[in-house]
Structure 1
Amino acid sequence: MKNRIQNTFTSSLLRGLSALPYELVARTGEGLGSLLYLIPGKRKHILHTNLRLCFPEQNDSQREQLARSTFRHVIRSYLERGVQWYGSAKVLSKLVTLESAIELKDNYEQPTIFLGFHFAAIEAGCMYYSTLHPVASIYTPMSDQATDTISREQRGRFGTEMIPRNGSAREILKVLKSGKPIMLAADMDFGLRDSVFVPFFGVQACTLTAVSRLARLAGARVVPFITGVSPGYLGYKLNIFKALDNFPCGDPAEDALRMNQFLEEQVRLTPEQYYWVHRRFKRRPAGEAAVY
């Protein structure tokens, strides 16, 4: 009963937000983020730790400014889930501008893995793509059951096939070889299994090797994509890049490093839009102390 009530409340709140003007929701999210930033908390501590590790060349004042801007984007992104999860395909088409270096199709002759990253607008890009072409998505179940149920249902409302991260590798390979692309993100610390420690902003980060393994088994190309927040409250831009050259290369650690290097290049363009509130350096190499 409790989960059902939470589910109804969360759904009603997000649905209500989707009916409001986008700019109003965005500005409200930024204002709420500015207020919540004033309150000490775990996410704020994680944010400051990540920025201190990744931007040692910045002084305290510069990192403080970046932290405030990041927090505004993070909270804003939570409110914008309303239009992302409940907005119509027509609404999403008006908010998202698409630029692609590859030809987009309903089915691909070569299996295709779309490699995403946790920028503030990642949901908008994924949702918009699903209105255009069939796609499957590997997702990480959320700890809150009510929110997890809503996210799976709404992310899949345009036909996206939702596959849990702990699902069968055989199922994922079957989808890839059918011609339907798969979207996944690999820029979080998902544990030591199938991972290696490679640098990210000069800090050893536990990084998945699953992307290169899936690409090797399926003969798939790996196509990165980034969704950014457009200035002036105009919506988002989905940028789909060319497939990574010589990926996989046969060395899982080298592949993981290349993913991190690509991501670092993109983060440096709009560092305030990256989800620095995640514990990216949760696990440490043997002998290294915890950072959080």
Structure 2
Amino acid sequence: MKSRILIVLMTGLLRAFACLPYGVVARIGIGIGALLYRIPSTRRRVVHTNLKLCFPDMSDEERERLARAHFGHVIRSYVERGPQWFGNARAISRLVEVESAIDLAEAHSRPTIFVGFHFVGIEAGCMMYSTRHPVASLYTPMSNVLFDAMAKRQRGRFGTEMIPRSDSVRRALRVLRDGKPVMLAADMDFGLRDSVFVPFFGVPACTLTSVSRLAKAGNARVVPFVTEVLPDYRGYKLTIFEELSNFPSDDATVDARRITEFLETQVRRIPAQYYWVHKRFKHRPVGEPAVY
């Protein structure tokens, strides 16, 4: 009962945010993030651990500034679920500018996997794409069943086919064969199964091989994309890059390393916007100590 009431209140709040000007919503998120950062928490410790591992040459003051900025971005991204999940297609399209190195119409004439990364703007980019083009999206179900149902419904309201990871391979292959591109992200630690350790900023990171395996099984090209938050509350920019050449290879580890190297390049460009609150190094190679 309490969970249901919480979902109703949260849904009402997100709907209210969808009615406010985007700049107001963004500033509310930044403000809440600044307040929450002052409170010691597990997530704040995770952010600092990740930054220390990935940017050992940074001074403590530099990492502190980066952590503060990141916390603001993360909480802002949660608040901005309001206009993303409950705004209309026109409003969402106005918020996101698109720069694509490929002909997006062609994405429906050949099997295409759009591989994204967990920058704070990923939700906005995926939502905007779905207002213009048919697409399927792999997602990880949330622990709260009611909230998961609401998120799945709102994310798919423009026609996106939502595919849970537990059922991903069979359904994703069917979608690809039917001429619909698949969006997924494989830059989080989901455990040792179907994963390999590859360096992420020089630190061994447990990395899924799903992109390589799905591309090979579906004879699909792999196209990276990144959504970034633009300065001065101007919204977002969705950048769709050229397809990865000679991908997949015959070695899933090599493929995972290539994708991770591409991700590193983008993180260095907008470091405050990557999802440092995630325990990226939760699983460790045999013999190496835990870091969290």
Query: Is 1:136 matched up with 2:141?
Result: no
Matched residue, 2:157:
157
Q: Does 1:195 align with 2:168?
A: no
> In structure 1, what is the Cα distance between the partners aligned to 2:40 and 2:68?
13
Instruction: Give the structure-2-normalised TM-score.
Output: 0.98
Aligned counterpart, 1:209: 209
Are the equivalent residues in 1 in contact too, given 2:136–2:182 (CA < 8 A)? yes
Gaps of 5+ in 2: none
Q: Following the alignment from structure 1 to structure 2, what is the Cα–Cα distance between the partners of residues 168 and 121?
A: 23
Kept in 2, the 8 Å contact 1:136–1:183? The answer is: yes
In structure 2, C-alpha distance between the alignment counterparts of 1:169 and 1:151, rounded to whole Å: 22
The equivalent of 2:290 in structure 1 is 290
Deviation at 1:115, TM superposition (A): 0.3
What residue in structure 2 maps to residue 258 of structure 1?
Answer: 258
Pairwise CA RMSD: 1.0
1:42-121 equivalent positions in 2, closer than 5 A: 42-105=42-105, 108-121=108-121
What's the % identity of the aligned pairs?
A: 63
Structure 1: any 5+ residue segments left out of the alignment?
A: none
SS at match of 2:143: coil
Q: Per-residue deviation at 1:109?
A: 2.6
Aligned to 1:274: 274
Q: Aligned partners of 1:104, 1:166: CA distance in 2, in Å?
A: 28
**CA gap 1:14/1:164 in 2 versus in 1, 3 angstroms:** same
Q: For residue 170 of structure 1, what is the amino acid of its counterpart?
A: R
Partner amino acid, structure 1, of 2:119: F
Q: String of CA shifts for 1:85-132, please: whole Å, max 9, x gaps.
A: 111100011110000000012862321000010101100000000000
Alpha-carbon shift at residue 2 of structure 1 (Å): 3.5
The residue matched to 2:278 in structure 1 has which SS? coil
Shift of 1:4: 2.9
Distance 2:94 2:106 in 1: 21
Q: What does the per-residue CA deviation read over 1:197-244, in whole Å, with 9 as the maximum and x for residues that have no partner?
A: 000000000000011000001000010000000111010000000101
Distance 1:10 1:29 in 2: 15
Tell me, yes or no, if structure 1 residue 185 matches structure 2 residue 185: yes
Show CA shifts across 1:37-74 (max 9, x none).
00000100100000000000101010001000000000
Q: Structure 1 CA distance, aligned partners of 2:153 and 2:3?
A: 15
Query: What is the DSSP-based 3-state SS (H/G/I as helix, E as strand, rest coil) of the residue aligned with 2:108?
Result: coil
Mapped to 2, the partners of 1:35 and 1:2 lie a distance apart of 26
1:10–1:147 contact (8 Å) kept in structure 2: no
Instruction: Give 1:5 shift.
Output: 2.2
Deviates more, 1:28-37 or 1:140-149: 140-149
Calculate the TM-score normalised by the size of structure 1. Answer: 0.98
1:224 match: secondary structure: strand
Paired residue secondary structure (2:198): strand
Instruction: Output the CA distance in 2 between the equivalents of 1:181 and 1:147.
Output: 26
Checking the alignment, whether the CA contact within 8 Å between 2:138 and 2:168 is kept in structure 1 is no
- d(CA) in 1 for partners of 2:216 and 2:80? 36
